[in-house]
């Protein structure tokens, strides 16, 4: 049959477009079984975690050693006095005796013949992980004689670096220890000056440091390793990777292998370059490159003060004999997260030394893993957290948000959106809504009930972000509308509500979002506004972590939101004008 000659088909009668096919949501592969982990040589301690009851607390004793930790008198006074910490939280009761056992003698700075075990810690949001490493680091380093860089804490964002710095500064008062940060917030030259000073000796083979403790983001750390003369990690006694799962999944210019090799000066980038030069028969170029390598900050020689790295490679020029006892690195690696991955590949990349895995979680279901529960997706939530969801048509979401704002009498809430742009728009919409509502109700009572909201996202300059955060902490702003920027780690006291205006992309994001409330044993409420078409993916995310049943569904009656409709219409129109024509035009139109 001649196809071309076939009569054109009659146009199909107009009918509503068929609904889009629903695609199955992506499924995660099954987690590796204990047998597979064993075959992969993952340490038994990592497979077989030490479970700690989240409700466990131990009173901090006045007498040194009575609470099972080696915290000295100064530390106890600081905790119980100015810092207002009366008892150890669960994670601290497990980590402190391990890193700082009660003992009559102060902890040794290095122990190359009996290197300390590395520690991986998984504990819920707001459970006090920061103090569990700040206290032992300060207690161990406070007896040092010479300032060397002995503790490095890595965190994913500047904001978190600032927060952890405050905790260190607060606890170490009176020890003489110095803390520095490297995040890129200040100029590189300024940071170099803070880290190694202006006058680094011409041949500073042992490395030089003005700070005992450095808190940094990985990218900036790598910049200093490459280009700051005299900057060395060879004296490190502690390497802390906080928010470890996030840092380990992001490459940040391959920070991990660079940091691990920088613990040993003979493996530093510059030393490798020098080795290469030594094999180079062209003398002139060799000298030139050698100078460049030195200028780049690399160190060829180890410092006698740094047994931390002194291991099987031996000292340059030294021939090991049979009677020599083998030394190992003394740098103890500490990993922390509320959602710590136990992915064998990632853990393997850290070259952990006989790691201990501590998990603060409910021990009610100890066989869950054996029954096929995905341990990668098994999270523990703060005990004082209540969770709710409202299913809503997309067009009603703002109305439900206004309902939550006014019926829950919110005084301190974080509201998460899917993007920075969405946060900016929603903050404006709520601001306009509040103005329209106060205008329509009139009177002082309405004004007093006005909820002040602000956007808080990476769109704001760091100074502006700090200002908004201060206003929020003082109670001048009742709700921050944000992207996931502050979902991790940020500790804002007394956040009473977390609202996911847009549902989170995965379970980890959900855990970190809702973890901004119910911190340090306080009560907290989390709400998710789930659009009708998002119910299936949301349910699937929550169910994969066996968490769906914990979220109470709340139905909101139409009568509860009908008063909000008129001011919402006004706010919508203002928002349209605001973004279409800019702020000036919008103002004059409204004024007219
Ligand atoms: N023993 C304690 N007693 C009272 N408050 C504590 C104690 N330990 C920590 N806190 C407080 O609890 C809050 C949460 O601690 P922290 O920020 O270390 O939590 P986190 O476990 O790191 O949470 P996230 O996973 O969200 O980062 C902080 O304000 C901290 O000062």
CB-based contact 279:250 (threshold 8 Å): no
Number of C-beta neighbours around residue 311 at 10 A: 17
Output the furthest CA–CA distance in the chain (Å, rounded): 100
Asked if pLDDT for residue 314 goes beyond 60, the answer is no
- 274 lies in the same domain as 259: no
Q: Looking at the domain assignment, is residue 373 inside a domain? A: no
- 543 lies in the same domain as 497: yes
- Distance of alpha carbon 567 from alpha carbon 404, whole angstroms: 16
With 0-12 / 13-18 / 19 or more C-beta atoms within 10 angstroms meaning exposed / middle / buried, residue 493 is exposed
- 61 lies in the same domain as 180: yes
Asked if pLDDT for residue 536 goes beyond 90, the answer is yes
How does residue 329 score in pLDDT terms, banded at 50, 70 and 90? low
- 187 lies in the same domain as 203: yes
State the CATH number of the domain containing residue 574: 3.40.50.300
Whose alpha carbon is nearest atom 8 of ligand 1?
128
How does residue 63 score in pLDDT terms, banded at 50, 70 and 90? confident
How does residue 24 score in pLDDT terms, banded at 50, 70 and 90? low
Number of C-beta neighbours around residue 575 at 10 A: 19
Q: What is the mean pLDDT of residues 323-334?
A: 69
Question: 183-221, pLDDT tens digit by residue?
Answer: 998 899 999 999 988 755 544 556 778 999 999 999 999
- 276 lies in the same domain as 131: no
* Mode of pairing for the β-strands spanning 119-122 and 551-553: unpaired
Q: Is the CB of 85 under 6 A from ligand 1?
A: yes
CA angle at residue 163 from 133 to 382, to 5 degrees? 65
Q: Looking at the domain assignment, is residue 341 inside a domain? A: yes
How does residue 34 score in pLDDT terms, banded at 50, 70 and 90? low
Q: Which residues contact 287 (CB under 8 A, 6 or more apart)?
A: none
- Distance of alpha carbon 260 from alpha carbon 262, whole angstroms: 5
Asked if pLDDT for residue 92 goes beyond 60, the answer is yes
Structure-token pair, residue 356: 């201990």
Q: Which residues contact 464 (CB under 8 A, 6 or more apart)?
A: none
Which ligand 1 atom is the nearest neighbour of the CA of 491? Answer: 17
- 495 lies in the same domain as 549: yes
- 173 lies in the same domain as 89: yes
Q: Identify the weakest region by mean pLDDT among 350-359, 361-370, 513-522.
A: 361-370
- 293 lies in the same domain as 173: no
Asked if pLDDT for residue 450 goes beyond 80, the answer is yes
Q: Identify the weakest region by mean pLDDT among 145-154, 159-168, 322-331.
A: 322-331
- 77 lies in the same domain as 162: yes
Number of C-beta neighbours around residue 558 at 10 A: 9
| C-alpha distances in Å from residue 456, one per residue of 243, 246, 461, 471, 484 | 21, 21, 10, 11, 10
Q: Looking at the domain assignment, is residue 370 inside a domain? A: no
Burial readout 509-529 (b: 16 or more C-beta within 10 A, e: otherwise): bbbbbbbbbbbebeebbbbbb
Check residue 442 and give its pLDDT.
81
pLDDT > 70: what percent of the chain? Answer: 73
Check residue 206 and give its pLDDT.
62
Check residue 317 and give its pLDDT.
44
CB-based contact 450:434 (threshold 8 Å): yes
- How close is the Cα of 128 to the center of ligand 1, in Å? 3
Asked if pLDDT for residue 70 goes beyond 50, the answer is yes
- How close is the Cα of 129 to the center of ligand 1, in Å? 6
- Residue at a domain's end among 281, 316, 351: 316
- Distance of alpha carbon 200 from alpha carbon 360, whole angstroms: 45
Asked if pLDDT for residue 20 goes beyond 60, the answer is no
- 336 lies in the same domain as 477: no
Q: Could you identify the residue written with the tokens 């060799």?
A: 286
Helix (H, G, I), strand (E, B) or coil at 72: coil
Cα 512 from chain centroid (whole Å): 9
- 354 lies in the same domain as 305: no
Check residue 50 and give its pLDDT.
87
With 0-12 / 13-18 / 19 or more C-beta atoms within 10 angstroms meaning exposed / middle / buried, residue 1 is exposed
Q: Looking at the domain assignment, is residue 103 inside a domain? A: yes
Check residue 109 and give its pLDDT.
79
Q: Is the CB of 329 under 6 A from ligand 1?
A: no
Number of C-beta neighbours around residue 308 at 10 A: 28
Q: Looking at the domain assignment, is residue 203 inside a domain? A: yes
| C-alpha distances in Å from residue 577, one per residue of 322, 434, 586 | 82, 17, 5
Number of domains in the chain: 3
pLDDT > 90: what percent of the chain? Answer: 52
CB-based contact 417:401 (threshold 8 Å): no
Q: Of 22 and 419, which is predicted with more confidence?
A: 419
CA angle at residue 251 from 246 to 252, to 5 degrees? 95
Asked if pLDDT for residue 289 goes beyond 80, the answer is no
Q: What is the mean pLDDT of residues 557-584?
A: 89
Domain that holds residue 302: 266-316
Structure-token pair, residue 327: 């030394």
Question: 494-528, pLDDT tens digit by residue?
Answer: 899 999 999 999 999 999 999 999 999 999 999 99
- 184 lies in the same domain as 283: no
Q: Of 45 and 361, which is predicted with more confidence?
A: 361
Number of C-beta neighbours around residue 93 at 10 A: 21
Q: Is the CB of 492 under 6 A from ligand 1?
A: no
- Distance of alpha carbon 541 from alpha carbon 555, whole angstroms: 21
Q: Looking at the domain assignment, is residue 31 inside a domain? A: no
Question: 231-275, pLDDT tens digit by residue?
Answer: 989 889 999 999 988 888 776 667 898 898 888 755 444 444 454
Structure-token pair, residue 553: 């569904």
Q: Looking at the domain assignment, is residue 166 inside a domain? A: yes
Number of C-beta neighbours around residue 23 at 10 A: 6
Q: What is the mean pLDDT of residues 134-151?
A: 94
Asked if pLDDT for residue 546 goes beyond 50, the answer is yes
Which of 54, 131, 247, 487 has most ligand 1 atoms within 8 Å of CB, for mutation? 131
Check residue 105 and give its pLDDT.
74
Check residue 443 and give its pLDDT.
77
Q: Looking at the domain assignment, is residue 280 inside a domain? A: yes
CB-based contact 211:180 (threshold 8 Å): yes
């Amino acid at each position: 049959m001649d196809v071309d000659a076939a009569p054109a088909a009659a146009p199909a009668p107009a009918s509503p477009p068929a609904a889009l096919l629903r695609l199955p949501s992506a499924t995660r592969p099954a987690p590796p079984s204990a047998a597979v982990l064993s075959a992969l040589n993952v340490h038994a301690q990592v497979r077989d975690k030490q479970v700690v009851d989240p409700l466990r607390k131990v009173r901090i004793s006045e007498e040194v050693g009575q609470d099972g930790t080696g915290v000295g008198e100064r530390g106890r006074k600081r905790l119980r006095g100015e810092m207002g910490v009366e008892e150890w939280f669960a994670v601290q009761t497990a980590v402190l005796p391990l890193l700082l056992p009660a003992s009559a003698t102060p902890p040794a700075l290095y122990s190359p013949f009996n290197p300390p075990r590395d520690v991986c810690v998984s504990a819920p949001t707001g459970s006090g992980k920061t103090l569990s490493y700040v206290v032992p680091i300060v207690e161990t380093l406070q007896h040092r004689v010479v300032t060397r860089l002995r503790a490095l804490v890595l965190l994913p964002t500047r904001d978190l670096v600032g927060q952890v710095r405050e905790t260190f500064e607060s606890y170490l008062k009176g020890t003489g220890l110095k803390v520095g940060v490297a995040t890129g917030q200040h100029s590189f030259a300024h940071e170099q000056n803070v880290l190694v000073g202006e006058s680094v000796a011409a041949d500073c083979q042992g490395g030089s440091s003005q700070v005992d403790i450095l808190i940094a983001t990985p990218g900036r750390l790598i910049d200093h390793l490459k280009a700051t003369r005299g900057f060395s990690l060879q004296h490190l006694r502690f390497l802390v990777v906080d928010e470890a799962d996030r840092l380990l999944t992001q490459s940040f210019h391959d920070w991990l292998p660079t940091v691990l090799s920088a613990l040993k000066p003979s493996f530093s980038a510059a030393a490798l370059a020098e080795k290469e030069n030594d094999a180079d028969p062209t003398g002139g170029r060799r000298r030139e490159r050698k100078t460049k390598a030195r200028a780049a900050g690399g160190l060829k020689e180890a410092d006698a003060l740094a047994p931390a790295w002194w291991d099987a490679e031996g000292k340059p020029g030294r021939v090991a004999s049979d009677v020599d006892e083998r030394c190992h690195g003394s740098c103890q690696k500490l990993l922390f997260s509320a959602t710590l991955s136990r992915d064998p590949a990632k853990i393997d990349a850290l070259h952990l030394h006989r790691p201990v895995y501590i998990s603060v979680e409910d021990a009610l279901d100890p066989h869950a893993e054996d029954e096929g529960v995905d341990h990668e997706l098994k999270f523990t939530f703060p005990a004082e957290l209540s969770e709710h969801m409202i299913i809503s048509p997309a067009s009603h979401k703002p109305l439900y948000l206004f309902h939550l704002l006014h019926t829950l009498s919110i005084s301190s809430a974080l509201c998460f959106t899917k993007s920075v742009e969405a946060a900016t728009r929603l903050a404006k919409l709520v601001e306009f809504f509040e103005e329209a509502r106060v205008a329509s109700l009139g009177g002082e009572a309405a004004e007093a009930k006005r909820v002040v909201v602000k956007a808080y996202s990476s769109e704001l300059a760091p100074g502006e972000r700090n200002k908004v955060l201060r206003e929020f902490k003082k109670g001048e702003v009742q709700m921050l509308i944000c992207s996931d920027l502050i979902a991790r780690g940020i500790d804002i006291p007394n956040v009473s509500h977390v609202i996911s205006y847009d549902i989170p992309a995965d379970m980890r994001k959900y855990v970190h979002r809702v973890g901004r409330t119910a911190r340090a044993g306080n009560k907290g409420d989390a709400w998710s506004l789930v659009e009708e078409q998002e119910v299936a993916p949301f349910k699937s995310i929550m169910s994969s972590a066996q968490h769906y049943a914990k979220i109470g569904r709340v139905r909101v009656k139409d009568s509860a939101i009908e008063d909000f409709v008129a001011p919402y219409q006004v706010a919508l129109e203002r928002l349209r004008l605001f973004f279409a024509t800019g702020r000036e035009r919008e103002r004059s139109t409204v004024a007219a």
